[in-house]
Structure 1
Amino acid sequence: MNQPRGLRRDAQANVEKLHSAALTVFSKTGLSAPLEDIAREAGVSIGTLYNRVGSREGLIDAVVPAVMGEKLKALTERTLAEQTPRAKLERFISEMIDLQLSDPAMNDAMLRRFPDATALINACDRSTALGHELVENAHDAGVLSHDFTGEDLMAVLWMVGTASRDRTAPAGWRRVVDRSIAAAWTESSQPAL
């Protein structure tokens, strides 16, 4: 994490504490966590938080893209290591869903809840582009229905992110998501029983 130049040692220490606290709190509760919780976790006042990081989006951009970037880079490497277009797309979908379910901050990022956090949005755009590319490659290989588009993939991931955070979501939401994905494969690509 880059530290602003010219800060006193105690001010730099506060920025470091805020960044560390933000990672902890965002990972537990998501990017919409109360900033007061982050200040409390860091052991500083809310005024210090605003003075040192400026805004929620500034704090998000200071800490989340690097962590998210590492997770998405690892996901991308595992995805591209798969041998077939279908296996690559299956890996991408599975791991994106796992990330959304296990990491509230990642889920908020993928849902683009904070569009003014530009560094975060740029990281999300790279994963979206990979998803679209994988869909096109699966189309070209004839294993994915042309009716299932890159936008459909993003809609499925959006449904996962939204339903997983909504306590009032119907219990069968995951079954619906899994069926949507299963129905997208062409008959020729279905594994033999």
Structure 2
Amino acid sequence: MRQEPAPVLRADARRNTAQIREAALSVFRDRGLSVPLEEVAAAAGVSKATIFNRFGGRVGLIETVVDQIVAVEMDRIVAHTRSLPEPRERIVHYVTAMRDLQYDRPAANDVLLQAYPHSAQLMDICRAAGEMNAELIADGRAAGALHPQVGEADLHALVVDNALALKHGARPERADYDRRTGFVLHGICSD
């Protein structure tokens, strides 16, 4: 079956699309993926209907910007983690870097909580994080770098619990948050 070429957008439609995308990048990055679309539209200087016309709604808009907001950074964390020579070092880096991402980018918490399960891209990011968790647990256990009772479900729960606390709780001061990251690492790593 022959596919029709994508329609060429008028200059004003291209400009609106670019404005929506830039507004979504800014608003989602700073406040998370659940920000009302009315606020994204206002930041872009368009109507909410224009977002639906251009992107099909929230999930389409999220999928347009999620790489720049979360996926690229998570890929960077995974790549750097895999480059480290020692299992304990990989665990410490990954847990610290993920907690930093969760603190700095509220959208990461929406991704990790699977807030939009109809987004294939978000679910792919979660799958990749799950694979990294499994790899870290297997390597950490083999090297004796983890407390013997720590498993994949525990590492997953630590990430999800942190996402819930940051999304729905009072935001802690950075120094307190970093101190608590140390507590988490002390609890899961062997002495």
| Structure 2 letter corresponding to 1:103 | R
Report the counterpart of residue 121 of structure 1 in structure 2: 123
**TM-score, normalised relative to structure 2:** 0.86
Q: Note if 1:45 corresponds to 2:44.
A: no
| Structure 1 letter corresponding to 2:48 | I
Shifted more, 35-44 versus 122-131: the winner is: 122-131
**TM-score, normalised relative to structure 1:** 0.85
1:143 CA drift (Å):
1.6
User: 1:94-118 deviations in whole A, cap 9, x for unaligned?
Assistant: 0000000110111211111111111
1:50 CA drift (Å):
1.2
Report the counterpart of residue 137 of structure 2 in structure 1: 135
Give the number of equivalent residue pairs.
184
Asked if structure 2 preserves the Cα contact closer than 8 Å seen for 1:61 and 1:119, the reply is yes
| Structure 2 letter corresponding to 1:47 | A
Structure 1 residues 180 and 24 mapped into 2: Cα distance closer, same or farther (>3 Å)? closer
User: 1:7-30 deviations in whole A, cap 9, x for unaligned?
Assistant: 333222211211111111101111
Report the counterpart of residue 189 of structure 2 in structure 1: 185
Q: State the percentage of identical aligned residues.
A: 32
Report the counterpart of residue 77 of structure 1 in structure 2: 79
For 2:19 and 2:117, the matched residues in 1 are separated by: 25
Report the counterpart of residue 164 of structure 2 in structure 1: 162
Asked if structure 1 preserves the Cα contact closer than 8 Å seen for 2:29 and 2:106, the reply is yes
CA RMSD of aligned residues (A): 2.3
Asked if structure 1 preserves the Cα contact closer than 8 Å seen for 2:137 and 2:152, the reply is yes
For 1:20 and 1:182, the matched residues in 2 are separated by: 40
Report the counterpart of residue 155 of structure 2 in structure 1: 153
| Structure 2 letter corresponding to 1:185 | C
Asked if structure 2 preserves the Cα contact closer than 8 Å seen for 1:19 and 1:62, the reply is yes
